[in-house]
């Protein structure tokens, strides 16, 4: 039975609640390992950050929990008392552990009575939405000065928005101007005004928006209040709308409705009446209808095209419906079409889309339609590009001929890559090299991919000196192809890590940043949507150093995916490897890697590629958790392993997810003969397509097989996991298993490839 303290101290509190609510006592594999936060003294782990002090205790209550803050409050990282705190500040560790232990024990058994307790905020948010009202009022008074008070007030007001007075909403917006919570509440209030046909109330609170539903609501509210001209708009603004910031005289109702009309997809219902009024005023003529029809065609929206055709004149309607039919099922019956730009564009769109599913049919139809509609070179080139591209993606025998038929202006990077892949799949090195050399020289000089493959092809042709020089150039890059190139010439891997600034004042300033503190506190409270809004707002206007420090704070709080989204402004930011490649559960990784005879670096790389270490990551296909396991797959795996299946929510538990995911990875490795690149591909795409690719091209060398994987996502995924494994080897061992050995299924007991940060000159020549 879990104690109250265990519930409060658990790193993923909702997991403990699940155990209690279901009345189960799960075996040891469900008890969550505390995230290491990169502070456990394992080789290559980061040293704990230096202390960040602040005199403002109110600010500190929502700041991330640095190892030397010593606030001793009840939170989900209490094991840092015996690990990170000791490592960070050994000189005072014993005293702090004693003091913190006393305070924690007292708090764990006391009623919520302090603003420094996250449980108070959680309880206030729960009471705000579910009651009782008396409990909310008590906690609200207790948390009057809390940094998250804005979200507590938001939760309370949003929970009763359907019966709230406008004065309450206005008071909230005035109290918290320019905060994410205010924009969220304003949007909800405006949507409610629309639903209740409160047009004046909508106009009093509208401040402009990028949301189509609110923009449609704005023109609808103007229409319903009669404010559709500059004069009436001024009058409306003068009647009870003193808070309105936009200049009503600048508003041109018809022009705004026309702008909304010209969208290639269906619009919100609030636009229906304004569109009808625009038509009644004679502003919505056939020209505008055709414009939207064209936009819908480009967006691939035949339903909207058919709807728009219904409002055209009879002759135009017949032609429009013929266009829709052609896009859905192209044929050669285009003789009655006018030889104009629209007919030609529809022909191009229809044939290029047909090429994706049937390039043979697209080629034969193109030969008939191009002369009939007098398609120009650009149009026929677009069609030829699509036919060649999808022929290559399907590795059809006609690909080489179709590639040669694509005019030079249409031979873009995408097509050239597929020309190379198709030639590699045929094992025709001369064609592959010709495809590669067709890439402009300045493009081949960027990155490592082109140089690696040119080196491979020249090496196979016996041009060893040229190949070695190209390998050396590619090996300067810390990526999949750079590492492969280093293996080819037996060079160390090039990895030049950067570390965040050790500026104490910067750390203090960012730890006290109100928006960032709110974001991290909300994340800790399992409010990811609100946390994301605060994070985005907080990063606006930060310097590069401040932004990097914000990522470091997020990593310390367990918000690991922030590095993926925030370290992208400059290429060098990719070198913050310790921020971008955390290792929160090292013991778990090692245990399960050993159990399934996998190496820890590979397992860590798989998790990093799948979820960026976010335990509650969820895909559009409902894959869940660290290793992105589908509930059905998870249930089957649990049965195979002899484990109980607590339900889909259990996949959010790190240990349970890694238990299943590592077993599944081992299954795929066994199913594909111990070849890691095939197992990784199967983990991403499923075993069925991988068996199909293996049957067609299984004789290729592993690096060439990876390049010929038809699925873009899977092709990049395999390369990404293998490159990530190198970085995790570096983090764990200071050396790496060579990718070439890993691809051969030969993983030594200890990594053997040295990792260095070379000077440019040291690798510029062989």
Q: How far is CA 305 from the centre of its chain?
A: 32
Instruction: Give the whole-angstrom CA distance, residue 682 versus residue 57.
Output: 51
The neighbour count for residue 550, using CB atoms within 10 Å, is: 24
Instruction: Give the whole-angstrom CA distance, residue 712 versus residue 393.
Output: 10
pLDDT of residue 251: 64
Catalytic residue among 363, 610, 707, 741: 610
pLDDT of residue 27: 32
* Residue-wise pLDDT tens digits, 90-128: 444 444 433 444 343 333 333 333 446 789 999 999 999
Residue whose entry in the numeric block shows the structure tokens 């990522």: 551
Pairing of strands 493-494, 753-756: parallel
pLDDT of residue 750: 85
Q: Does domain 586-763 have CATH number 1.10.530.10?
A: yes
Q: How is the chain split into domains, by residue range?
A: 412-491, 586-763
CA neighbor of 758 nearest in space, from 507, 559, 550, 482: 482
Write b or e for each residue in 490-515: b if 16 or more Cβ atoms lie within 10 A of its Cβ, otherwise e: ebbbbbebeebeeeeebbeebbbbeb
Instruction: List, for the chain, all residue ranges whose pLDDT scores fall below the cut of 50.
Output: 1-32, 37-115, 231-250, 761-766
Between the alpha carbon of residue 570 and those of residues 106, 108, 576, 648, the distances in Å are 48, 45, 11, 39
pLDDT of residue 445: 87
pLDDT of residue 83: 36
pLDDT of residue 34: 52
pLDDT of residue 227: 82
Q: Which residues contact 658 (CB under 8 A, 6 or more apart)?
A: 585, 588, 589, 592, 603, 607, 626, 627
pLDDT of residue 443: 86
- Decide if 610 is catalytic: yes
| pTM (2 d.p.) | 0.81
pLDDT of residue 744: 92
Identify the DSSP state of 116.
T
Burial of 297 (0-12, 13-18, 19+ CB in 10 A): buried
Mean pLDDT of the chain: 84
pLDDT of residue 234: 41
H or E stretch covering 735: strand 735-736
Number of alpha carbons in the 13 Å side-chain half-sphere of residue 234: 4
**735 DSSP β-pair partners:** 754
Report CA torsion sign: 18, 22, 25, 28.
Answer: negative
Write b or e for each residue in 34-70: b if 16 or more Cβ atoms lie within 10 A of its Cβ, otherwise e: bbbbbbbeeeebbebbebbeeeeeeebbbbbbbbbbb
């Amino acid at each position: 039975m879990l104690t109250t303290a265990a519930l409060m101290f658990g790193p993923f509190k909702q997991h403990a609640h699940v155990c209690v609510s279901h009345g189960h006592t799960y075996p040891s594999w469900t008890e969550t390992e505390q995230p290491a936060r990169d502070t456990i003294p394992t080789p290559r782990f980061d040293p704990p950050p230096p202390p960040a002090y602040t005199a403002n205790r109110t600010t500190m209550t929502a700041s991330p929990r640095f190892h030397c803050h010593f606030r001793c409050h009840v939170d989900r990282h209490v094991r840092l008392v015996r690990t990170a705190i000791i490592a960070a500040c050994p000189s005072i560790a014993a005293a702090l552990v004693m003091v913190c232990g006393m305070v924690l024990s007292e708090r764990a058994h006391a009623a919520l009575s302090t603003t420094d307790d996250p449980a108070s905020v959680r309880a206030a948010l729960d009471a705000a939405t579910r009651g009782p009202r008396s409990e909310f009022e008590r906690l609200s008074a207790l948390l009057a000065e809390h940094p998250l008070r804005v979200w507590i007030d938001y939760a309370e007001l949003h929970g009763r928005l359907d019966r709230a007075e406008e004065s309450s909403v206005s008071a909230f917006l005035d109290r918290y101007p320019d905060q994410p919570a205010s924009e969220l509440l304003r949007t909800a209030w405006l949507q409610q005004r629309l639903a209740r046909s409160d047009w004046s109330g909508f106009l009093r609170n509208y401040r402009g928006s990028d949301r189509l539903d609110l923009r449609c609501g704005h023109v609808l509210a103007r229409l319903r209040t009669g404010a559709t001209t500059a004069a009436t708009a001024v009058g409306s603004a003068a009647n009870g709308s003193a808070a309105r910031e936009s200049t009503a005289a600048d508003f041109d109702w018809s022009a705004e409705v026309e702008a909304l009309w010209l969208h290639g997809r269906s619009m919100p219902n609030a636009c229906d009446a304004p569109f009808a009024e625009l038509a009644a005023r004679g502003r919505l003529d056939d020209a505008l209808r055709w414009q939207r029809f064209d936009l819908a065609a480009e967006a691939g929206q035949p339903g909207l095209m058919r709807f728009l055709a219904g409002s055209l004149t009879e002759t135009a309607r017949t032609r429009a419906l013929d266009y829709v039919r052609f896009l859905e099922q192209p044929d050669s019956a285009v003789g009655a079409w006018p030889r104009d730009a629209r007919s030609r564009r529809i022909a191009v769109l229809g044939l290029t889309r047909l090429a994706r599913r049937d390039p043979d049919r697209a080629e034969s139809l193109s030969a008939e339609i191009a002369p009939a509609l007098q398609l120009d070179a650009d149009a026929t080139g677009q069609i030829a590009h699509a036919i060649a591209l999808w022929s290559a993606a399907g590795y059809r025998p006609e690909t080489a001929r179709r590639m040669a038929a694509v005019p030079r202006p249409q031979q873009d990077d995408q097509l050239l890559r597929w020309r190379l892949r198709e030639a590699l799949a045929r094992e025709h090195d001369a064609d592959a090299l010709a495809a590669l050399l067709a890439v402009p020289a300045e493009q081949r000089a960027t990155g490592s991919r082109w140089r690696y493959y040119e080196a491979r092809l020249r090496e196979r042709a016996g041009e060893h000196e040229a190949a070695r020089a190209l390998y050396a150039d590619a090996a300067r890059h810390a990526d999949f192809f750079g590492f492969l190139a280093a293996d080819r010439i037996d060079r160390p891997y090039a990895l030049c890590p950067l570390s965040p600034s050790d500026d104490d004042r910067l750390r203090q300033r960012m730890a006290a940043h109100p928006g960032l503190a709110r974001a991290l506190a909300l994340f800790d409270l399992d409010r990811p949507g609100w946390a994301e809004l605060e994070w985005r707002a907080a990063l606006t206007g930060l310097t590069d150093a401040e932004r990097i420090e914000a990522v470091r704070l997020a990593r310390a709080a367990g918000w690991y995916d922030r590095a993926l989204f925030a370290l992208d402004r400059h290429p060098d930011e990719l070198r913050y490897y310790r921020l971008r490649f955390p290792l929160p559960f090292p013991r778990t990784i090692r245990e399960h890697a050993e159990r399934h005879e996998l190496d820890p670096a590979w397992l860590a790389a798989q998790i990093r590629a799948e979820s960026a270490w976010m335990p509650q990551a969820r895909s559009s296909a409902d894959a869940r958790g660290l290793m992105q396991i589908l509930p059905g797959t998870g249930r089957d795996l649990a049965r195979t392993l002899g484990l109980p299946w607590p339900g889909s929510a259990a996949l959010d538990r790190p240990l349970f997810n890694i238990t299943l995911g590592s077993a599944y990875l081992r299954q795929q490795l066994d199913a594909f003969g111990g070849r890691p690149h095939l197992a990784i591909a199967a983990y991403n795409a499923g075993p069925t397509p991988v068996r199909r690719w293996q049957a067609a091209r299984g004789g290729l060398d592993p690096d060439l097989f990876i390049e010929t994987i038809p699925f873009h996502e899977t092709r990049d995924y395999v390369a990404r996991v293998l490159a990530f494994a190198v970085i995790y080897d570096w983090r764990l061992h200071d050396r790496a298993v060579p990718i070439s050995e890993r691809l051969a299924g030969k993983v030594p007991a200890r990594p053997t490839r040295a990792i260095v940060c070379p000077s440019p000159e040291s690798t510029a020549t062989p």
